[in-house]
Structure 1
Amino acid sequence: MAARRAYTTHPLVLRRVTVRRVHDVTPRMRRIVLCGDQLGAFTRDGIEHPAFAAPGFDDHVKLILASDGDVRAALPAQLPHGIEWTPAENRLTRDYTPRRVDPAAGEFDLDFVTHGDGPAAAWARAAREGDELWFVGPKSSLRLPARPDWILLAGDETALPAIGRFLDERPVDAPAHILVTVADDTARQKLALREGDTIRWVLAEPGDATALEAAVRALPLPAGDGYAWAAAESRALLPVRRYLGRECGLPKERLNITGYWHREEPAAPTGAEDPAATGEHARVPSPVPWLVVRASLRLGLLDAVADTPGLPLDALATRLDVPAPNLGVLLGPLAAHGVVVGDHDGLRLGPAGEELLDDHARDEYAGHEAELLLSLAELAPALRGGGSPWQRASGATLHGTVAGDAERYGELVEECEQLVFLLNGLAADPLWAGVGTCLLTGPGSAAVVAALDDAGRRPRLRIAEDEVPAATLRTRVPAPERIDWTGGPADLAVAAKALAHRTDDEAEALLTRLASWAPTVVLVEASRPDGLSPHAAEASLHAYAATGSPLRDSTAIAALAHRTGWHVARLIPLGWGTEATVLHRT
């Protein structure tokens, strides 16, 4: 049986609200009460949208601001069932937690820490009745365990809205143990505590990782099956995550650690010359630190130091079965980049090392994404002679590799988990009318099953995959026992991210195979870069490394369809650069 999904998704809608009231909860926290017709169900540009829903205590809405004040130019495009983040150089976005939601009054509250220089804090300080604010979300709500024995809620001042809302609404009936670091005693708030709850306020500067970790360590965890939630500055949470997860042994499904903000690095001293401005010392960054971090993760060095802080180099070398002099060559680069601190007599993780304990952070260095980057060593010969860099580097296509490797295919499935936030448009489409049986293929199949469940659609499901991918998907889909795990006739086939790891020849072979099973096929693929991604400029290169083709836009996908006897009936935009292409047999 697959694990229960940890969140509930919501439709993504762009909404405009105005300020109804402003008051200061404390000298450091300002509450803005927002209202507007678009908090209810409404229609804009002929598209009907549901009422605003934010049922979770730590839900996030994404505020849309503008560096030049022109907010209208910064707004994303609203799709019938989603958001497309079109390019906008002036766009600034910040995530905030609704402190209170009152559908009957048509309003909700946002709390802002006003002692900061960020654009949202500046907006809050200047906010007056009638001012407008645009936002999107929330995209999902956290599902808590049904009956935890206790819950820990920890964080800094930015976590207070979520903590306060939890205590007001009590989504689970369990004793709550509260820990909050504040920069000043005036930041303390009156919270709705019950008998059995505890609370501890700790004075600390914003982003002080040492103070937050020490306070969490000093808090005795009760017996039983608990749940820990923490929110604060991202780096300050890294040692907290390590302590609760590694040392206390809380499983992932009972641990939610979220970076609410990022501390900015200090600016260069006045008078310092900017190499990028002069061009004198500007250069492309060296790959050496990346390769050293990759080697350290593959050897298990960072995990060993995390598990035993202060470990001498000789003991570390023995544990890793690597000669100490050889291991020593890594220490200089690791120390220079803050991955480790200390010396041969005792090593500890530095801030960058703590960050690499997070599974998503290390994927860049040691997972499928890293292997794809390494294949770019063959980029020049691939560009000149054809074929994908992956195939030239490994001797097999990426599809051929992942089809026999459960771990690699599992990484593709994890990457596709975000699809569930985009598939509302597909699940709501009229094409499902009369569909009794649906055939699924591709690593995004689990996300499609979840989206159909959320939409209340219950066609008979088949999944057509090779043996290893099918076994991997069995562990990820809800209720796998209801699915027929063999290919066969269906009214509709959905290939979810099935082309993204296939060459053109392999993609054509799949489309030809699907033609024997279904009269209509839907291809769910990214057809352009995600406008919010900091790596948008590299999207086409990553696609080329995997398949030997640039990121396939709608024209390229239509060409593949035409060559295999399909024609494009229409496109369903899903958002974030992703489209569903509906194909019919010619």
Structure 2
Amino acid sequence: MAAQRAYTTHPLVLRRVTVRRVHDVTPRMRRVVLGGDRLAAFTHDGIDHPPFAAPGFDDHIKLILAADGDVRAALPAQLPHGIEWTPAEHRLTRDYTPRRVDVDAGELHLDFVLHGEGPAESWAASAREGDELWFVGPKSSLRLPDGLDWIFLIGDETALPAIGRFLDERPLDATAHVLVTVSDGAARQELALRDGDTITWVVAEPGDAVALEAAVRALPEPAGEGYAWAAAESRALLPVRRYLQRERKLPKDRLNITGYWHREEATAPESEETAAAGTTGGGTPSPLPWLVVRAALQLGIVDAVADAPGLSPAALATRVGVPGPGIGVLLPLLAAHGVVMGVDGDETGLRLGPAGEELLDDHEREEYTGHEAELLLALTHLAPALQDGTSAWRLATGTSLHDTVTHDAERYGELVEECEQLVFLLNGLTADSLWEDVGTCLLTGPGSASVIAALDDAGRRPRLRIAEDDTPATVLRGHVPAPERIDWTAGPADVAVAAKALAHRTDHEATRLLTQLAAWTRTAVLVEASRPDGLSPHATEAALRAYAATGSPLRDSATIAAIAERAGWHVERTIALGWGAEATVLRRT
């Protein structure tokens, strides 16, 4: 069945607003009403920007603050169709959900939980009329499925703005079952409930996973088609996700669970065993815990304990098909790193620890078992790869990464999923004048599904064809709506778009691809990352990961131009897309 998009994208615009008024909704929640001409359509530095739009009940805008107070120095660069997060040492960003958007009054309402210590809470606590605030977004809005009979709205105090907005605006006609945990009874609010709705208030400490899970288990089991939306402290939601997925059997497209904040854990003193398992002799982090967790996931240990909590080590060994001594080797280390609990003679048996709960999330386990994990393992060949000027992947596997993913549907599928974020950056490409006379577009690369979605959002309707081998084409079919409208054979086109097609190719393979495209079109567009994402905590690793994959660091404009020239192209211009990505427009020489 073809994939259906779950989000509507919006242009990314940097906006300035000022405080119009402030009032406390409850003793624990402050509402700041903001306004300004940049909520309407406006022009700045010759760039026209659309009016602010946040139609979704749980949309997020990114507030921009500064640790040193100099917010102007922390602002990102506004592109004609996107945002570039330039380096800024003191930049702080926080995501917040609009409680209300009043288009007629030109106002945006934001609710802030008080008594916190974060920069946004501190700003709200001292906010006065006339104070300025800068923000970006939202980048997208959630699309709820049609035909729902009921919805769970689950959260803590930080989720109240989204829950309140849902109940005010009712984006779908479904019975709402609301559950909110609050740290003080005074945090309760009047909410716009209808006949048939239910609401449960639970007083518990912030981030109390036990209280939240117990309350979720007590929710009704309504008949018909349902959906669960939840937002709270990230770790507190882990058992909620497990329960709704594994016991209530809600499919993934009927769940939206988001960690709105992260509780800072006090650092416990390390035992000698834990310290030895986590570092090398010189204090450098050891790969041992990573390898042990990877083995536990590959063997099915985490899933087995999740599905049958209370197993004995012997029963676990039988369940996953590993001899008892093998399980005995892994369990102490898994316990030391919070993956499992109940190892040392605990009569309640084995159960997941906090880290184990996190590993039930597909995105979390990809770090240990997915494509990125395999790439990390290839780095054991980093030294000879650097000496030989080749990719660590080729030395580790005997073949190129491109050859590997082209014949492995699961790996190619991971690349396609990684490219899903690309759709938020493609406004600059779809707005470009090159599309004016395009009747047919040829697509290649794992980002092709995102390009198709972006073209749809922009109202561009060229005939589409795909230039991919059998396995990648089959994967892409499952990620695009209405695959029957696409010609799945390569051929002549007015323009070709290679979306992240070079990121898993060596320079030689990239040249070969561009040579192939030259046989079908006179205009090509390469969508690639030329620099790290400025907001990513792993920005410093980007060049190394790229080198491990292809034998080339992140390819800058000069490198792209050299590859294109070898294939008979010249660079006409480059379109900055933001977040380090660029679209390079090529013409045949």
Q: TM-score, normalised by structure 2?
A: 0.97
Report the Cα distance in structure 2 between the residues aligned to 1:417 and 1:427, rounded to whole angstroms. Answer: 16
Give 1:265 deviation, angstroms: 2.2
Report the Cα distance in structure 2 between the residues aligned to 1:488 and 1:147, rounded to whole angstroms. Answer: 40
Q: Secondary structure at the match of 1:451?
A: helix
Report the Cα distance in structure 2 between the residues aligned to 1:120 and 1:42, rounded to whole angstroms. Answer: 26
Cα deviation code 1:456-475 (max 9, x no counterpart): 00000110000110111111
Contact in 2 for aligned 1:62/1:93 (Cα 8 Å): yes
The reply on whether 1:481 has 2:484 as its aligned counterpart is yes
Report the Cα distance in structure 2 between the residues aligned to 1:35 and 1:311, rounded to whole angstroms. Answer: 57
Task: Number of aligned residue pairs: give it.
Answer: 577
Give 1:264 deviation, angstroms: 1.2
Contact in 2 for aligned 1:292/1:333 (Cα 8 Å): yes
Give 1:266 deviation, angstroms: 2.4
Give 1:11 deviation, angstroms: 0.4
TM-align CA RMSD: 1.3
Cα deviation code 1:552-582 (max 9, x no counterpart): 1111111101111111100000010000000
Matches within 5 A, 1:352-391: 352-391=355-394
Partner in structure 2 of residue 31 of structure 1? 31
Q: Secondary structure at the match of 1:112?
A: strand
Report the Cα distance in structure 2 between the residues aligned to 1:42 and 1:281, rounded to whole angstroms. Answer: 58
Report the Cα distance in structure 2 between the residues aligned to 1:94 and 1:310, rounded to whole angstroms. Answer: 39
Partner in structure 1 of residue 455 of structure 2? 452
Q: Secondary structure at the match of 2:4?
A: coil
Given the alignment, which residue of 398, 401, 421 partners 1:398?
401
Partner in structure 2 of residue 298 of structure 1? 298
Given the alignment, which residue of 469, 474, 482 partners 2:472?
469
Give 1:282 deviation, angstroms: 6.3
Matches within 5 A, 1:328-367: 328-343=328-343, 346-367=349-370
Contact in 2 for aligned 1:442/1:498 (Cα 8 Å): yes
Structure 1 letter corresponding to 2:393: W
Given the alignment, which residue of 536, 540, 546 partners 1:533?
536
Contact in 1 for aligned 2:4/2:480 (Cα 8 Å): no
Report the Cα distance in structure 1 between the residues aligned to 2:181 and 2:212, rounded to whole angstroms. Answer: 7
Partner in structure 1 of residue 555 of structure 2? 552
Structure 2 letter corresponding to 1:424: N
Given the alignment, which residue of 413, 416, 419 partners 1:416?
419
Give 1:155 deviation, angstroms: 0.7
Partner in structure 2 of residue 326 of structure 1? 326
Percent identity, aligned pairs only?
79
The reply on whether 1:543 has 2:536 as its aligned counterpart is no
Contact in 2 for aligned 1:449/1:478 (Cα 8 Å): no
Q: Secondary structure at the match of 1:116?
A: coil
Q: TM-score, normalised by structure 1?
A: 0.97
Report the Cα distance in structure 2 between the residues aligned to 1:167 and 1:76, rounded to whole angstroms. Answer: 34
**Runs of 4+ residues deviating >4 angstroms:** none
Cα deviation code 1:279-316 (max 9, x no counterpart): x9862200000000100000110011111111111111
Matches within 5 A, 1:41-60: 41-60=41-60
Report the Cα distance in structure 2 between the residues aligned to 1:146 and 1:358, rounded to whole angstroms. Answer: 25
Cα deviation code 1:129-176 (max 9, x no counterpart): 000000000000000111211110011000000000000000011110
Report the Cα distance in structure 2 between the residues aligned to 1:508 and 1:49, rounded to whole angstroms. Answer: 37
Structure 1 letter corresponding to 2:486: I
Contact in 1 for aligned 2:99/2:165 (Cα 8 Å): yes
The reply on whether 1:157 has 2:157 as its aligned counterpart is yes
Report the Cα distance in structure 2 between the residues aligned to 1:234 and 1:89, rounded to whole angstroms. Answer: 26
Give 1:225 deviation, angstroms: 1.3
Cα deviation code 1:183-208 (max 9, x no counterpart): 00100000001100000100000011
Contact in 2 for aligned 1:15/1:38 (Cα 8 Å): yes
Partner in structure 1 of residue 511 of structure 2? 508
Report the Cα distance in structure 2 between the residues aligned to 1:319 and 1:268, rounded to whole angstroms. Answer: 33
Contact in 2 for aligned 1:569/1:582 (Cα 8 Å): yes
Q: Secondary structure at the match of 2:342?
A: strand
Report the Cα distance in structure 1 between the residues aligned to 2:558 and 2:284, rounded to whole angstroms. Answer: 34
Report the Cα distance in structure 2 between the residues aligned to 1:365 and 1:404, rounded to whole angstroms. Answer: 21
Partner in structure 2 of residue 126 of structure 1? 126
Report the Cα distance in structure 2 between the residues aligned to 1:567 and 1:143, rounded to whole angstroms. Answer: 41
Contact in 1 for aligned 2:17/2:134 (Cα 8 Å): yes
Partner in structure 1 of residue 581 of structure 2? 578
> Which consecutive unaligned segments of at least 5 residues does structure 2 have?
270-274
Partner in structure 1 of residue 272 of structure 2? none
Give 1:115 deviation, angstroms: 1.2
